[in-house]
Structure 1
Amino acid sequence: MATSDFRPVYHPAGHDNDLRAALQDLRTGRWVSMRNLLESTPDWTLWTQRTQVLGAVAAGSDAVQAWLSEEPRSVAAAVMHARVVVERAVRAHREGHHRAQELWQEAWEACRAAAHTAPADPVPWVCLLALSQLDERQELQEHRLHPPGPMLFPGPWGLLAEADRRDPYNREAYHRMLQFVYARKAGGTLSEAVNFAQWAASSAPEGSALHALPLYVRVERYRRERGHEKALDLHWVTEDAERDAERALHLWFHRTDPTRHSLLDVNHLAHSLWGALKFADAAPVFRALGPYFTTLPWAYRAPDPRDPSGAEDVYLRARTRCLAAAPEPRRGPHD
């Protein structure tokens, strides 16, 4: 397709065609495809990604409850129940719903039950980390443990350790921890977020998605500084910004299968490389996205971050510029 005719699309399944089919059934209230998909999921990375996306969609229906009613001993159904009630609790808290506290308690109990039912699964602990951001004042003891290193904050380090024990460097677990940082009433400073992201990335092995974590903090800093009298576009071409983008490119993106990447991670990497004026390096990242994109972080570079069309326009401009810098070689008749 010609670049001028290209229009990106958003789909939570991204390149995961099997997940896309399960989501289609789930939106009509049918759960069998979800069960079959999870039964065939081969590793914790994909398991975590799929349960997260499925949980976000299933939170608006009774499909998981129907599954539990039919198969009360299903371990996957217990984990998905935890996903659903956590998603509902987080949404209720965000919206200031009067049942937020009740849903939080229900979700906490479901997570503990899922952890007991599926002792090797990292997802119940990831879900508990998601709930930790609701405890903004860190009233629970498990949310204010001493950190494992200097320059870090008191927090739910025990929960992160439990997720790490089951799936080392679990992407979602560390992103949930970053969300906890932002939610802290006692802190929540960007310096804490920077320290955490750099700490996580510095200890992560090659191929880990945690090498993209500092890119999220940089986007958050940019978002908070919008409207101030600063040369914000220079934010992306500093030595630190270039280093973070290059590390994510070489230590993560180039060392793993692009079809298994989080779409949000790949969009953040493409955005960072484009912002750092590394157009040729960004070209293969845009190609790996194929037809897909995510509204964030592009929306923050648009005149109105609330306008989805603005995010798409920024994305298209960036994509066009980067692909022009490194066009694909022409294929010969025998290729």
Structure 2
Amino acid sequence: MAREGARPSYDPAGPDHALRTALQDLRTGRWMAMRTLLADTRQWWQWTQRTQVLAAAAAGTDVVRAWLAEEPGSGPATVMHARVCVERALRAQRERHRRTHELWIEAWDAAQSACHAAPQDPVPWVCLLALAQLDPEQRWEEHRAAAPDPMLPPGPWGLLAEAGRRDPYNREAHHRMLQFLYARGGSGRLAEAAGYAQWAAGQAPPGSALHVLPVYVRVERYRRDSGHDAALDLHWVAEDATREAHRALRSWFEHTHRAERSVPDLNHLAHALWGSLQFQDAARVFDAIGPYFTPPPWMYRTPDRDRAVEIFVQARDRCRAAADGFSTPR
């Protein structure tokens, strides 16, 4: 594979060219390309990913509402409506908007409708899981179900199980569970999230993106604790950090085809391997990334988030130089 050397940039579609075309159409207020794209999407992992990216782009528009008005019986349109409503509720919560609770209830109703309109689809259940983070006190009964393992805390386990019945090891569903655990707050809660990530990875088959979950938790711990203190780079060379990066490489990256790999997962894995000084393996992951940079986790390495791309390029160049030096006969 030819190496990508150009300066990378963030593209929510990543290498999914069909998704990029649908996004361009959506941004001009049209929905037909989105409809066609989703009709042609056959695998749940890709369906989950595409609907998430499309909803993020559509949340500030009425495009999906127009589609649903035109085709009120459409399952995909109903699912996309739920996606958009959830995205709006989560944004309102982040911005502490006064309509957060109203948007939350609207999103919950939309997700329930999607569950009925598309009973085999995991995404409506992923939507309900995403909304669980708006209830960190676990006031809703469905958010305090007993965990499948006694070492794990109560939470929206029933929602996760429903998503899993439709798409086992659904990547976004497990990330939404992590976000719920983060939202509960406190340093002890982060330990719960780490335990959950290890448990989920331990249940997953080779090739599952769940093997990368522990790497995400390590980034979250660094984000909360670092204060951008360079001394905390030791965080990444600790034995358990090195082991987590290595396991993600062996259990996920080496068992997947290029098209199946999430761009955020690739970026998190490259970052973890670089940080733990596993430069040769990191160079392989950087080659798989190509130009498809994602701001997290690189932006947590600098107080100036505009320098995230620069950090990425420096890490990529360092790893490639080390790999090339190792492979060159002396």
TM-score, normalised by the number of residues in structure 1: 0.93
User: 1:312 matched to which residue of 2?
Assistant: 309
**Matching residue of 1:323:** 320
Pair 272,147 (structure 1): closer, same or farther in 2 beyond 3 Å: same
| Cα offset, 1:225, TM superposition | 1.4
Instruction: Spell out, residue by residue over 1:60-115, the C-alpha distance to the aligned partner (whole angstroms, 9 max, x if none).
Output: 10000110111111110000000000000111111111111111111000000100
Structure 1 equivalent of residue 244 of structure 2: 244
User: Contact conserved, 2:181 with 2:192, CA < 8 A, in 1?
Assistant: yes
Distance in 2 between residues matched to 1:329 and 1:186, nearest whole Å: 44
Question: After superposition, what is the alpha-carbon deviation per residue over 1:264-319, rounded to whole angstroms, capped at 9, x for unaligned?
Answer: 110000000000100001111001111110111011111x15x22x1111101100
Deviations 1:310-335 (A, max 9, x none): 111110110001111224999xxxxx
* Contact 1:3–1:320 (Cα < 8 Å) also in 2: no
- Please state whether the residue corresponding to 1:57 is helix, strand or coil: helix
* Residue 130 of structure 1, CA deviation: 0.4
Structure 1 CA distance, aligned partners of 2:47 and 2:81? Answer: 15
Distance between the aligned counterparts of 1:40 and 1:328, measured in 2? 45
Match of residue 95 from structure 1:
95
On the 8 A contact 1:137/1:186 being kept in 2, the answer is: no
Mapped contact 2:85–2:103 kept (Cα < 8 A): yes
Structure 2 matches for 1:159-178, cutoff 5 A? Answer: 159-178=159-178
Identical aligned pairs, as a percentage? 63
Show structure 1 runs of 5+ residues with no match.
Answer: 331-335
Q: Match of 2:37?
A: 37
Contact 1:181 1:187 in 2 (8 A): no
- AA aligned opposite 1:300: Y
Q: 1:311 to 1:185 in 2, by over 3 A?
A: closer
1:64-75 aligned at under 5 Å gives the runs: 64-75=64-75
Matched-pair contact (CA < 8 Å) for 2:26–2:58? yes
Higher relative contact order (CA closer than 8 Å, sequence separation 6+)? 2
Q: Which residue of 2 aligns with 1:157?
A: 157
Instruction: Give how far 1:30 is off.
Output: 0.6
Tell me the distance in 1 between the aligned counterparts of 2:233 and 2:167: 37
In structure 2, the partner of 1:262 is: 262
Distance across 2 between alignment mates of 1:4 and 1:154 = 45
**Equivalent residue, structure 2, for 1:333:** none
**AA matched with 1:322:** C
Q: Report which of the two has the higher share of helix.
A: 2
Shift of 1:187: 7.8
How far residue 258 of structure 1 moved from its aligned partner, in angstroms, is 2.0
**Residue number in structure 1 paired with 2:292:** 292
Q: Note if contact 1:208-1:252 (Cα within 8 Å) is conserved in structure 2.
A: yes
1:7/1:291 contact within 8 Å kept: yes
Q: 2:64 is matched by which residue type in structure 1?
A: V
Give the distance between the partners of 1:170 and 1:141, measured in 2 at CA: 23
C-alpha RMSD over aligned residues: 2.0
Count of residues in Structure 1 that have an aligned counterpart in Structure 2:
326
Partner in structure 2 of residue 10 of structure 1? 10
Q: What is the distance in 2 between the residues matched to 1:225 and 1:219? A: 10
Q: Structure 2: 5+ residue runs without aligned partners? A: none
For residue 83 of structure 2, what is the aligned residue in structure 1? 83
Distance 1:4 1:251 in 2: 25
User: What are the residue-to-residue correspondences of 1:91-130 with 2, within 5 Å?
Assistant: 91-130=91-130
Shift of 1:224: 1.4
